[in-house]
Structure 1
Amino acid sequence: MDLNIPLYVFLFFALFIFFSSFFTVKQQTAAIIERFGRYQSIRHSGLQLKIPIVDKIAGKINLKIQQLDVIIETKTKENVFVKMKVSVQFKVIQDKVYEAFYKLEYPHDQITSYVFDVVRAEVPKLKLDDVFERKDDIAIAVKRELNEAMTTYGYDIINTLITDIDPDIQVKNAMNRINAADREKSAAEYEAEAGRIRIVAKAKAEAESKRLQGQGIADQRREIARGLVESVDVLNKVGINSQEASALIVVTQHYDTLQAIGADANSNLILLPNSPQAGSDMLNNMVASFTASNQVGEAMKRAKVSEKKSTPKPPIFPESHESEHGEL
């Protein structure tokens, strides 16, 4: 019975040695093997073999693309403090796993330091509005600086993105007020322009309306005059002279107007005078006005003719003897 105990121990030790000789490495991962504390080899994904007790796995490195978010507080050219979030996407170069494992212990801290250095060197050169407009330029500068520094340590910077720019709350409120004021100004300018267009359009419409109205009145009066001429011609043909015809037309229009006013029950218009003699008086007044106007015109013509006659003519000098008979 005592002889079986060493056998079990030997079997157990043999199984332990056997199983500890094999290990697996996951996809997109690299394992660093050391032998007695000295670098031995790099093993990639799959089933791997090592010498038990002699070899050991010193560590594993992730070969996937990783992302590190860095929050930085800095100030702009006009001393406005802003918080910026810079996302750095990086990975370990597969051929430089040794450098990534042995040369750099804390890669995240190293990357963060370089991001701080570049951003705090670039942003103070820019105004706040320029920071928003040129954030891609800042990201490119960060990537360029990181690539130059981290390639030595076996890291490749895939991309750098500035995902957030957050100014101080008071500055943000001021910017919102400025934007609101600009929008109100633009709205007021558009409203003023729209009002001006409406006024111009209304004025043009009114002018066109007045023109058409005047044209209509002119056409109406022209037709009335033509009708009066035709009426007088008709009355002259039946033996009524022009004065009697005019009186008849005036009286007829006067009573037609009275009839039209009386036909409207809701009208409160009063025509003065409205006696039967009103038409005759109106005609007499018109005839007297025309006669006086004709007299004044004739007097002005006679005055012009007498003025021309009284103006002395320039003297006529006789021609010289030499011009009459020619040169002797």
Structure 2
Amino acid sequence: MLNLVLLPVLGIFLLLIIFSGIFIVKQQTSAIIERFGKFTSIRSSGLQLKVPLIDQVAGRINLKVQQLDVLVETKTKDNVFVKLKISVQFQVIKNNVYDAFYKLESPHDQITSYVFDVVRAEVPKMKLDDVFERKDDIAIAVNRELNEAMEDYGYDIIKTLVTDIDPDVQVKSAMNRINAAEREKVAAEYDAEADRIRIVAKARAEAESKRLQGQGIADQRREIARGLEESVDVLNNVGINSQEASALIVVTQHYDTLQAIGEETNSNLILLPNSPQAGSDMLNNMVASFTASNQIGEAMKEYNRKQASEKKKNGSDDDINE
């Protein structure tokens, strides 16, 4: 009766022992097997077997690419405190799982120490502006130092990035003010250039307008003169002499001017003589002005001829005396 009770118990115990020797290793993971505390083997992903009660899984190593973010505070060459965020991407070398498990207790602390050492050696050599411009050089220096140090522990440094540079708050505010002032300066220069272009374009347009206006006035006066000439010729053909024809034309234009002024309701007050004698007086004044102008012109020509003759005579006398 006792045997009937013990047999199922022993069977269950044996099954538990057998199943304890079966274990699963996930993808991109390696398992470290120890026997009585001593390393035995490394098992890769899949269904694995070990000796029950003797072998044990001492640990598992992640073979995926991992990332560690390290925040380092240091001082630049121009005495500005700055915080740099360094992102280190690393991975356990598949063939060096033993070294990664047994040689290094805390890889994160080790990587952090090397990052601090390199950053605090490189950044103090640079000014703040150079830190922003040469952040790739800092990342390369950190990556090179980490690769040399961590390779002995079975780790491969995939990539090192400087993901953030954060200066002191006061320095950052000053930089923002400088940047804003520089942008305002550029904007003012563009506004001034735009104003200059508008002024030049307006001046050119006004000059062109005046030129065309002057050309139009000249053409208008030319056509008026031609029309007056034709009118005088027509009047001469019907027996009216040139002086009478001119007087008639002046009187006609005088009344045309009065009519044009009268039609403008918004015109200012202008007092003009409206008798027929006004046109005749205007013509006489014009003729007198032209006559006086011609007389002055002839007198000036005669004076210039006398002056030239005297200079020529004096020059001849000087030649004889010599």
TM over 0.5: yes
Rate the CA distance shift 1:185–1:301 in 2: closer, same or farther, 3 A.
closer
Rate the CA distance shift 1:37–1:246 in 2: closer, same or farther, 3 A.
same
Q: Where do residues 100-115 of structure 1 align in structure 2 (5 Å cutoff)?
A: 100-115=100-115
Does structure 2 conserve the Cα–Cα contact (< 8 Å) formed by 1:135 and 1:162? Answer: yes
SS of the residue corresponding to residue 316 of structure 2 reads: coil
Q: How many positions carry a matched residue from both structures? A: 317
SS of the residue corresponding to residue 30 of structure 2 reads: strand
Shift of 1:21: 2.8
Give the structure 1 partner of residue 223 of structure 2: 223
Q: Extract unaligned runs of 5+ from structure 2.
A: none
Larger mean Cα displacement after TM superposition, 109-118 or 223-232: 223-232
Give the structure 1 partner of residue 139 of structure 2: 139
Rate the CA distance shift 1:266–1:16 in 2: closer, same or farther, 3 A.
closer
Q: Where do residues 19-30 of structure 1 align in structure 2 (5 Å cutoff)?
A: 19-30=19-30
Shift of 1:306: 4.5
Give the structure 1 partner of residue 211 of structure 2: 211
SS of the residue corresponding to residue 197 of structure 2 reads: helix
Q: Extract unaligned runs of 5+ from structure 1.
A: 318-328
Could you say what the CA RMSD is over the residues aligned between the two structures, in angstroms? 2.4
1:306 and 1:208 map into 2 onto residues whose CA distance is 46
Shift of 1:245: 1.7
Deviations 1:211-234 (A, max 9, x none): 011111111111111112222222
Are 2:202 and 1:202 aligned? yes
Does structure 2 conserve the Cα–Cα contact (< 8 Å) formed by 1:261 and 1:269? Answer: no
Rate the CA distance shift 1:249–1:52 in 2: closer, same or farther, 3 A.
same
Give the structure 1 partner of residue 255 of structure 2: 255
Rate the CA distance shift 1:120–1:279 in 2: closer, same or farther, 3 A.
same
Deviations 1:152-179 (A, max 9, x none): 0001111122222222222222222222
SS of the residue corresponding to residue 162 of structure 1 reads: strand
Give the structure 1 partner of residue 18 of structure 2: 18
Give the structure 1 partner of residue 31 of structure 2: 31
2:145 and 2:163 map into 1 onto residues whose CA distance is 19
SS of the residue corresponding to residue 314 of structure 1 reads: helix
Larger mean Cα displacement after TM superposition, 225-234 or 294-303: 294-303
1:130 and 1:286 map into 2 onto residues whose CA distance is 85
1:259 and 1:13 map into 2 onto residues whose CA distance is 135
Give the structure 2 partner of residue 314 of structure 1: 316
Rate the CA distance shift 1:312–1:18 in 2: closer, same or farther, 3 A.
closer
Rate the CA distance shift 1:2–1:314 in 2: closer, same or farther, 3 A.
closer
Give the structure 2 partner of residue 174 of structure 1: 174
1:72 and 1:222 map into 2 onto residues whose CA distance is 89
Runs of 4+ in 1 over 4 A off after TM superposition: 1-13, 304-310
The TM-score, its normalising length taken from structure 2, stands at: 0.89
Larger mean Cα displacement after TM superposition, 28-37 or 201-210: 28-37
Rate the CA distance shift 1:238–1:21 in 2: closer, same or farther, 3 A.
closer
What amino acid maps onto 1:184 in structure 2?
E
2:91 and 2:315 map into 1 onto residues whose CA distance is 120
